[in-house]
Structure 1
Amino acid sequence: MSDTRTSEYIDGLARFIQAGPSSYHAARETADRLVAAGAVELDESAAWPTAPGSYVVVRDGAVIAWIVPEGAGPLTPFRILGAHTDSPGFKLKPHPTTVVNGWLQAGVEVYGGPLLNSWLDRELELAGRLVTTDGTVHLVRTGPFLRIPQLAIHLDRGVNNDGLKLDKQRHTQPVWGVGLDAAAQLGTQDALLEHLAGLAGVAASDIAGYDIMTADTATPARFGLDDSLFAAGRMDNLTSVFAGLTALLAAASSDAPAARHISVLAAFDHEELGSESRSGAAGPFLADVLERIGAGLGASSSDRLRALASSWCVSADAGHALHPNYAERHDPVNKPVPGGGPLLKINANQRYATDAAGAALWARLCAAAGVPFQEFVSNNAIPCGSTIGPITATRLGIRVVDVGAPLLSMHSARELVHVDDAAALAAAVTAFFAGK
Structure 2
Amino acid sequence: MTPQQFNTDLLAFLTAATTPFHAVVALVGRLEAAGFARLPPEGDWNLQPGQRCYLTRNDSSLLAFTVGSESAPETGMRMVGAHTDSPCLMVKPSPEKQRSGYFQLGVEVYGGVLLNPWFDRDLSLAGRVSFAAGASRLHTALVDFRRPLAVIPSLAIHLDREANQSRSVNPQTDILPILALQADSAVPDFRSLLRQRLLEEHPDCAAERVLDYELCFYDSQPAALVGLRQEFIASARLDNLLSCFTGLQALLQADGRQSCMLVCNDHEEVGSQSTSGAQGPLLLSTLRRIAGTEERLGQLVQNSMMISADNAHGIHPNYADKHDDNHGPRLNAGPVIKVNANQRYATNAETAGLYRLLAAQEEVPVQTFVVRSDMGCGSTIGPITAGGTGIRTLDIGVPTFAMHSIRELAGSEDACNLGRVLRRFYNHPGSLTPA
Contact 1:31 1:57 in 2 (8 A): no
In the alignment, does 2:32 pair up with 1:35?
yes
Instruction: Give the whole-Å Cα distance in 2 for the aligned partners of 1:212 and 1:433.
Output: 35
**Which residue of structure 2 lines up, in the alignment, with residue 401 of structure 1?**
394
Instruction: Give the whole-Å Cα distance in 1 for the aligned partners of 2:185 and 2:200.
Output: 17
1:169 is paired with a residue of what secondary structure?
coil
In the alignment, does 2:59 pair up with 1:58?
no
Contact 1:31 1:58 in 2 (8 A): no
**Which residue of structure 1 lines up, in the alignment, with residue 97 of structure 2?**
98
Q: CA deviation at 1:192?
A: 4.3
From the superposition, tell whether residues 360 and 21 of structure 1 become closer, same or farther in structure 2 (CA, over 3 Å): same
**Which residue of structure 2 lines up, in the alignment, with residue 248 of structure 1?**
251
Instruction: Give the whole-Å Cα distance in 2 for the aligned partners of 1:21 and 1:390.
Output: 27
Q: CA deviation at 1:194?
A: 4.0
Instruction: Give the whole-Å Cα distance in 2 for the aligned partners of 1:198 and 1:181.
Output: 27
Q: CA deviation at 1:424?
A: 1.1
Instruction: Give the whole-Å Cα distance in 1 for the aligned partners of 2:322 and 2:422.
Output: 29
Q: CA deviation at 1:36?
A: 1.2
Instruction: Give the whole-Å Cα distance in 2 for the aligned partners of 1:206 and 1:432.
Output: 49
In the alignment, does 2:2 pair up with 1:13?
no
Contact 1:106 1:192 in 2 (8 A): no
**Which residue of structure 2 lines up, in the alignment, with residue 197 of structure 1?**
198
| Alignment equivalent of 1:323, drawn from 301, 316, 332 | 316
In the alignment, does 2:262 pair up with 1:265?
yes
* Structure 2 length-normalised TM: 0.92
Instruction: Give the whole-Å Cα distance in 1 for the aligned partners of 2:93 and 2:311.
Output: 31
Contact 2:55 2:64 in 1 (8 A): yes
From the superposition, tell whether residues 434 and 71 of structure 1 become closer, same or farther in structure 2 (CA, over 3 Å): closer
Counterpart mapping for 1:43-192 below 5 A: 43-52=40-49, 53-60=51-58, 61-72=60-71, 74-133=73-132, 134-143=137-146, 144-160=148-164, 162-180=165-183, 190-192=191-193
Structure 1 unaligned segments of length 5 or more: list them. none
Q: CA deviation at 1:20?
A: 0.5
Instruction: Give the whole-Å Cα distance in 2 for the aligned partners of 1:232 and 1:346.
Output: 26
Instruction: Give the whole-Å Cα distance in 1 for the aligned partners of 2:183 and 2:206.
Output: 22
1:196-219 C-alpha deviation (Å, 9 max, x unpaired): 434444577532221111211112
Instruction: Give the whole-Å Cα distance in 2 for the aligned partners of 1:37 and 1:189.
Output: 39
**Which residue of structure 1 lines up, in the alignment, with residue 299 of structure 2?**
306
Instruction: Give the whole-Å Cα distance in 1 for the aligned partners of 2:160 and 2:195.
Output: 36
* Structure 1 length-normalised TM: 0.92
| Alignment equivalent of 2:242, drawn from 239, 264, 269 | 239
Instruction: Give the whole-Å Cα distance in 1 for the aligned partners of 2:4 and 2:185.
Output: 45
Structure 2 unaligned segments of length 5 or more: list them. 430-435
Which is further off, 46-55 or 409-418?
A: 46-55
From the superposition, tell whether residues 99 and 401 of structure 1 become closer, same or farther in structure 2 (CA, over 3 Å): same
Instruction: Give the whole-Å Cα distance in 2 for the aligned partners of 1:312 and 1:73.
Output: 12
Q: CA deviation at 1:71?
A: 4.2
**Which residue of structure 1 lines up, in the alignment, with residue 349 of structure 2?**
356
Q: CA deviation at 1:75?
A: 3.2
Instruction: Give the whole-Å Cα distance in 1 for the aligned partners of 2:190 and 2:206.
Output: 10
Q: CA deviation at 1:365?
A: 1.7
Instruction: Give the whole-Å Cα distance in 1 for the aligned partners of 2:184 and 2:158.
Output: 30
Q: Please, what is the CA RMSD of the aligned residues? A: 1.8
Residue type of the alignment partner of 1:383 = G
Contact 1:96 1:192 in 2 (8 A): no
- The number of residues matched between the two structures is 420
Which is further off, 388-397 or 90-99?
A: 90-99
Q: CA deviation at 1:395?
A: 0.6
**Which residue of structure 1 lines up, in the alignment, with residue 418 of structure 2?**
425
**Which residue of structure 2 lines up, in the alignment, with residue 365 of structure 1?**
358
1:104-156 C-alpha deviation (Å, 9 max, x unpaired): 11111000011000111111111111122433220111122111111111221
**Which residue of structure 2 lines up, in the alignment, with residue 288 of structure 1?**
285
Residue type of the alignment partner of 2:426 = F
1:365 is paired with a residue of what secondary structure?
helix
1:136 is paired with a residue of what secondary structure?
strand
Residue type of the alignment partner of 2:154 = Q
1:369-407 C-alpha deviation (Å, 9 max, x unpaired): 221010000011111100000000001100000001000
